[in-house]
Amino acid sequence: MANIDPGMVTTGFELEGYTVTKHIGIVRGIVVRSRSIIGSIGAGLQTLVGGDITLFTKLAENTREDAYERMCQHAADHGANAVIGFRYDATDMGRGITEVLAYGTAAVVEKA
C-alpha cells in the first residue's frame, strides 16, 4: 500500500508548484485513545512540580501522528498523491478517552 509523501500534505488549499488535477474527496484518520492508569499517575506526579507534562505530551503527539498516518493511507487508497486543507480535531469521549481526527481533501496533483 502506497502512502502520501509528507511534503504533499498542506493546510492550504493549494500546493506551491503543483496544479490540482482532481479532487477525490474528504479523507480522514481517526484514533481513539485512553490514558493508562500508570500514565495518569505519572502525569499526576508531574503536575506537582509544574511545567510540561511529558507523558501527556507524548501521548498527544503519538495519537496525532497515528491519525495523520491513517488519513494519508486513506488518501493513497483512493488514488490521491496529495492532501489539501489538512486539519486536526479532537473530542473528549469520556473520562480520559479522546478521539483525534485528521482530515482533509484527497487530491491528485501534477507539477505545474
pLDDT tens per residue, range 54-105: 777 888 899 999 999 999 999 999 999 999 999 999 998 877 788 999 999 9
Quote the pTM value: 0.84
* Average pLDDT over the chain, rounded to an integer: 87
Q: Give the integer Cα–Cα distance in Å for 35 and 71.
A: 23
Q: How far is CA 31 from the centre of its chain?
A: 9
Compute the radius of gyration of the chain from its Cα atoms.
Answer: 17
Q: Which residue has the cell 487508497?
A: 77
What whole-number distance in Å separates Cα of residue 8 and Cα of residue 16? 10
Residue 53's pLDDT band (boundaries 50, 70, 90)? low
